[in-house]
Chains A and B, each alone.
Chain A
Amino acid sequence: MSAIPAELLHIIIGLVAVAASVGLIGLVMVWVERKVAGHIQRRPGPYEVGPSGVLQPLCDALKLVGKQLFMPTGADPILFWLAPVLAFLPVLLLFLPLPVGDGLMALDVNLGLLLILAFSGLAVLSVLLAGWASNNKYGLLGAARAVAQSVAYEIPLLLSVLAVSFVAGSLDLAQVVKGQGTWPWNWNIMTQPLAFIIYFVSALGETNRAPFDLPEAESELTAGFHTEYSGMGFGMFFLAEYANMVVVCSVATALFLGGWHGPVLPGPLWFVLKVSALMLLMVFARWTYPRVRFDQLLVINWKWLLPLAVANLLLTAFFVKLAQFA
């Protein structure tokens, strides 16, 4: 076996790149979030460590790693330590099919969308385990909320993604992006604006962010499911949340904002710009809006998002069928 087969090399480089980028994106996102939050609140955000606080996330990470890991009495040891690991591992898998550039993806698989949606469902399992195993009343409440929320917001996410794949005719992210042109008016967002809104709102719900961050509602449940975690346990949840955010935003750019298509700049740069724009929007949403109450959260989903998503799906199916005859 003299030469290593090309695909294996491709996969290994892809995996190494993904692992590195997840860690890097986590740190950058922590810094961006604290800086943006600071500037919104007219305070400078971290500025002591390194030029304008760039090394602050690194120090946070070191502090978290250095912290003592302890487990509350009465907690279930296996599940307690499994939860943060389980929160972080599936996220790595979600990064594989993301089309950063033309042909530039870790794993070229023609069912990329299905892979992402399947594994993003695993995140809720870790939140449930964390809340339940930490034998803490607040954790229990946080876990109960997280399950109801993730299950609820999974369905509109699926339906809006389905609507787009109807139009593109395939579940492969690369195909969907190729189906869109270089200029904004022939991106999918123009043909599917409602699907984009539904996707974005349910993405916020899915990653427990912004107005829907009920599982770890500081003011009600002290810290929800990760109340009892300290040190790297908490760090893993923290990184998993940001990684999930990146995945969700990059899927949104691939489906709705034309992936690597863009007038002048090279492909991957457009992809990164669009992802960071969406991330900035998510960060702004977090620091502007109060938290939604739990039953309102479910009302928004079951009474608003779901019917709209189904209607949108039927409409798209009708037009796609019509287009086939014409």
Chain B
Amino acid sequence: MTTNPIIDHLAGDFYTQNFAKTAGEGNLILNLGPQHPSTHGVLRVVVELDGEYIMRAEPVLGYLHRMHEKMAEVKTAAQFIPNMGRVDYGHALGWNWAFVGAAEKVGGIEVPERAEYIRVITCELNRIASHLLWWGAYLLDLGAFTPIMYAFDDREKILDILQIPTGSRLTYSYFRIGGVAQDLNAECIRLIQEFIPWFRARLPMYKDLVSDNIILRKRIENIGVIEQETCRRFGATGPVARGSGINYDVRRAVPYSVYPKLDFEVPTSDLKCARGRYDVRMIEMEQSLRIIEQALEMMPEGEILIKGAPKPSWKVPKGEGYFAVEGARGKIGAYVVSDGGKNIYRTKLRAPGFCNLSLFAEVSKGTILADAVAILGSLDLIIPEIDR
């Protein structure tokens, strides 16, 4: 490297210097991100490289931090729902459900049967859309530019379907405390019934183009191996835990809403590597299709919002409540503590991506830079959810 007086003082910001304190001699300190094409959103990882090998990595967060939990303190319960769509735009309905469920649990509010089924259908559709976003972006990280276009071709269909009842395409605020805002009209149901066989016919193409491709298989097999013990120490849930053989899905472990009535399998794979997580998510897409099919048949007629549903000025009664939902990335939790005041006293949002990313530093030790990008992709990270 050319030594140049101007350069010497540019030794990086607070985090790089803090990271460089314990760096080995002659190692290259590199900032992957925050403006890096392969980090989804604004993730920054400070990496210590010896040649191509990563000696140490430390994700730096906070670039997308909007302090949702403080907003929850200054708004009433019903006014906080639009925030839920902005915490994680990948699986916004999962977050809607977590918060609304927590408020219903503390307020002791029942949800009509039809609203439960609508919640299941729209949440599962949103999960497929989130998995398609993950699949496309993951292939983009590994260098294939075409798959993301096919994935988004299908995802557009789902967004069109979800736009009918919710009115928006990405940041939904569709669930209300005590039900949902709008009913699924006939056209929406017809589109869903058309979408299911169409997407089921598309999945083999995904397998041919990518899953069996030898270059991809070599890129993601036995890298980023996560032991079950690591999952426990870091609290990783969702496809990351199921990819390491842990059979834990909140829809089965702590059944909520009408999931006990629906029959679907929880895919796990004991490959423990990025390939395991990849397979789990691909199978999960098929399972979600099955769930939507059954939910469509079993959905009864009836109203979609409970009589006298809480108005925006509704005060959450005293008490605390924790409600968890199986999001696309893992267990989405909302912990609500209320003192009966106008606004909720304290709301804690448990983001699955936060715990999944925390194990990256340990898992990526000693891997090559290209593997680190592949491991990051396999964790399916959406940064706004991690920074909250």
Determine the chain B residues whose CB is within 8 A of the CB of A293 once the complex forms: 218-219, 368, 370-371
CB of B141 within 8 A of CB of A219, answer yes
For the complex formed, measure the closest distance between the CB of A25 and the CB atoms of chain B, giving whole angstroms.
23
Given A43-B149, A293-B370; A219-B2 close (CB under 8 Å): no
CB of A290 within 8 A of CB of B6, answer no
For the complex formed, measure the closest distance between the CB of B12 and the CB atoms of chain A, giving whole angstroms.
11
Give the contact-size bracket for chain B: 35 or more
User: Which residue of chain A is the closest to B137 with respect to CB atoms?
Assistant: A219
B164 proximal to A (CB < 8 A): no
Contact with A along B358-388 (1 / 0, CB 8 A): 0000000000111101000000000000000
Determine the chain B residues whose CB is within 8 A of the CB of A213 once the complex forms: 143
Complex CA distance for A43 and B150, rounded to whole angstroms: 10
Determine the chain B residues whose CB is within 8 A of the CB of A218 once the complex forms: 37, 143
Give the contact-size bracket for chain A: 20 to 34
CB of A290 within 8 A of CB of B215, answer yes
Complex CA distance for A217 and B139, rounded to whole angstroms: 13
B209 proximal to A (CB < 8 A): yes
For the complex formed, measure the closest distance between the CB of A324 and the CB atoms of chain B, giving whole angstroms.
41
For the complex formed, measure the closest distance between the CB of B83 and the CB atoms of chain A, giving whole angstroms.
31
CB of B144 within 8 A of CB of A294, answer no
Determine the chain B residues whose CB is within 8 A of the CB of A289 once the complex forms: 143-144, 213, 215
User: Which residue of chain B is the closest to A210 with respect to CB atoms?
Assistant: B143
B357 proximal to A (CB < 8 A): no
Most A Cβ at <10 Å: residue of B36, B146, B210, B216: B146
For the complex formed, measure the closest distance between the CB of B154 and the CB atoms of chain A, giving whole angstroms.
12
Among candidates B142, B149, B153, residue contacting A290 with C-beta atoms closer than 8 Å? B142
Complex CA distance for A288 and B51, rounded to whole angstroms: 29
B38 proximal to A (CB < 8 A): yes
Determine the chain B residues whose CB is within 8 A of the CB of A52 once the complex forms: none
Complex CA distance for A26 and B301, rounded to whole angstroms: 63
CB of B144 within 8 A of CB of A290, answer yes
Determine the chain B residues whose CB is within 8 A of the CB of A296 once the complex forms: 218-219
Contact with B along A280-305 (1 / 0, CB 8 A): 00000011111111111000000000
Complex CA distance for A220 and B375, rounded to whole angstroms: 12
Given A74-B7, A290-B139; A220-B145 close (CB under 8 Å): no
B18 proximal to A (CB < 8 A): no
Complex CA distance for A194 and B219, rounded to whole angstroms: 26
CB of A135 within 8 A of CB of B219, answer no
User: Which residue of chain A is the closest to B209 with respect to CB atoms?
Assistant: A288
CB of B145 within 8 A of CB of A37, answer yes
CB of B215 within 8 A of CB of A211, answer yes
* CB interface residues, B 214-251, toward A, < 8 Å: 215-216, 218-219
A40 proximal to B (CB < 8 A): yes
Determine the chain A residues whose CB is within 8 A of the CB of B149 once the complex forms: 41-43
B355 proximal to A (CB < 8 A): no
CB of B52 within 8 A of CB of A135, answer no
A141 proximal to B (CB < 8 A): yes
User: Which residue of chain A is the closest to B145 with respect to CB atoms?
Assistant: A287
A100 proximal to B (CB < 8 A): no
Given A37-B145, A74-B2, A219-B37; A294-B370 close (CB under 8 Å): yes
CB of B373 within 8 A of CB of A219, answer yes
CB of A219 within 8 A of CB of B371, answer no
Given A137-B30, A141-B52, A222-B36; A290-B2 close (CB under 8 Å): no
Given A288-B209, A296-B218; A135-B143 close (CB under 8 Å): no
Complex CA distance for A137 and B373, rounded to whole angstroms: 17
A73 proximal to B (CB < 8 A): yes
CB of B6 within 8 A of CB of A73, answer yes
Determine the chain B residues whose CB is within 8 A of the CB of A290 once the complex forms: 139, 142-144, 210, 213, 215-216, 219
Contact with A along B247-261 (1 / 0, CB 8 A): 000000000000000
A76 proximal to B (CB < 8 A): yes
Among candidates B28, B218, B373, residue contacting A220 with C-beta atoms closer than 8 Å? B373
Q: A217-B370, A290-B139 are in contact. List 18 more A-B contacts (CB 8 A).
A: A37-B146, A40-B146, A41-B145, A42-B150, A74-B4, A74-B6, A75-B2, A137-B28, A137-B30, A219-B143, A220-B373, A287-B146, A288-B146, A289-B144, A291-B370, A293-B218, A293-B219, A295-B368
Listed from nearest, the 4 A-B pairs whose CB atoms lie closest are A291-B143, A41-B149, A74-B4, A290-B144
B positions within 8 Å CB-CB of A? 1-2, 4, 6-7, 28, 30, 36-38, 49, 51-52, 139-146, 149-150, 153, 209-210, 213, 215-216, 218-219, 368-371, 373
